[in-house]
Amino acid sequence: MKLEARFTSHGNRLFSLDGTECPAEGAAVLDAAQCRPGADIPPQGVLCIRLPWGQVGTEDGGYNEEFLAAFRDFLKELEEQGRYAFIVPDGGSGGFPDGGLLAASMKHCARRIKDCASVIGFAVPPAGDASYFMEQLREKHAHYIFFSRDESLLADGGIVRY
């Protein structure tokens, strides 16, 4: 299932396709562990979901499919409510793994939530090769918007500041 883009970005800002700005800076932050069906969420605005890479993938290359299924259900609820979120990979207390492992984990997550129109995109992790990370996710999810706080990444204007 291929989703159509619902958002665009320019000038480091996020816009719906009708041209309405959707502020990402100051978005309410949720930890992915809280993102279960029926969870209490802020009543309005774009959501920022912090996703520890270890919640998705493991050092040995396995994936937490039980978590990913519940996460998908939560994102489908957001979709039903007309709400949107972007996902921020988080290194957690152990920091980020090597870039390839992190990109593989987030790509796997993206595959599991591919039918969730509530997902705007992913933040580019501060560690690793940003181009490789974005390339891996764009491969099957061309509609994703990318987010960052890194000034060097924000220089092109197409990545949204959060």
Reported as a single tens digit per residue, the pLDDT across 43-72 is 889 999 999 888 887 667 689 999 999 999
Indicate whether 1 belongs to any domain. Answer: no
Indicate whether 2 belongs to any domain. Answer: no
Per-residue pLDDT at 1: 61
Beta bridge partners of 147: 123, 160
Residue type at 13 in one-letter notation:
R
CB 52 within 8 A of CB 92: yes
Q: What is the pTM of this model?
A: 0.92
**Number of structural domains found in the chain:** 1
What separation in angstroms does the CA of 51 have from each of 2, 5, 105, 131, 142? 23, 22, 11, 20, 21
Per-residue pLDDT tens digits for 114-144: 999 999 999 999 888 999 999 999 999 999 9
Res. 2 pLDDT band, cuts 50 70 90:
confident
Beta bridge partners of 78: none
CATH code for the domain in which residue 100 is found: 3.20.20.80
Indicate whether 38 belongs to any domain. Answer: no
Per-residue pLDDT at 100: 76
Calculate the average pLDDT of the chain. Answer: 92
Show the domain range for 51. 7-33+43-161
* Interatomic CA distance for residues 133 and 103, integer angstroms: 5
